[in-house]
């Protein structure tokens, strides 16, 4: 065991889990916040922003990219990273949906 039983869940559930999992690490939250803060794509510079080694940061960037939360374009010497909106909108939609639903049907119990 140890492996997630993805087969038994819907594609949508697996997709949302992948997106959420990608953000399930403070370094990856920090990367997203940094990309947002600078208000543009960042070419270089990300490694210096984080308290982690270059290989570790590179790995975190790869995971965010695989999940579809950021994208990276080669820009000469360095790589230009920015937030990938479609991925972000997908997971945002999930929370929006839950929140909207809860707002309507409050006060059942608990």
DSSP string, 68-108: TSEEEEEETTEEEEEE-HHHHHHHHHHHHHHHHHHHHS--S
Q: How far is the CB of 40 from a copy of itself (least distance, A)?
A: 4
Cα–Cα distance between 73 and 43 in angstroms, integer? Answer: 9
Interface positions, 82-101, toward a copy of itself (CB under 8 A): 82-83, 85, 88-89, 91-92, 94-99, 101
Show the CA angle centred on residue 102, arms to residues 99 and 103, nearest 5°: 85
Query: 79 contacts which partner out of DNA, a copy of itself, none, CB within 5 to 8 A by kind?
Result: DNA
- Which parts of this chain interact with a copy of itself (CB under 8 A)? 4-6, 8-10, 13-14, 16-18, 20-30, 32-33, 36, 39-41, 51-52, 71, 73, 80, 82-83, 85, 88-89, 91-92, 94-99, 101-102, 105, 108-110
């Amino acid at each position: 065991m140890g492996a997630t039983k993805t087969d038994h869940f819907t594609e949508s559930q697996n997709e949302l889990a992948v997106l959420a999992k990608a953000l399930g690490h403070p370094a990856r939250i920090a990367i997203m916040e940094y990309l947002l803060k600078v208000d543009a794509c960042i070419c270089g510079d990300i490694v210096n922003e984080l308290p982690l080694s270059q290989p570790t940061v590179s790995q975190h960037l790869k995971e965010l990219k695989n999940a579809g939360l950021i994208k990276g374009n080669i820009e000469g010497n360095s790589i230009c990273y920015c937030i990938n909106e479609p991925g972000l909108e997908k997971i945002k939609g999930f929370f929006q949906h839950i929140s909207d639903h809860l707002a309507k049907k409050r006060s059942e119990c608990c």
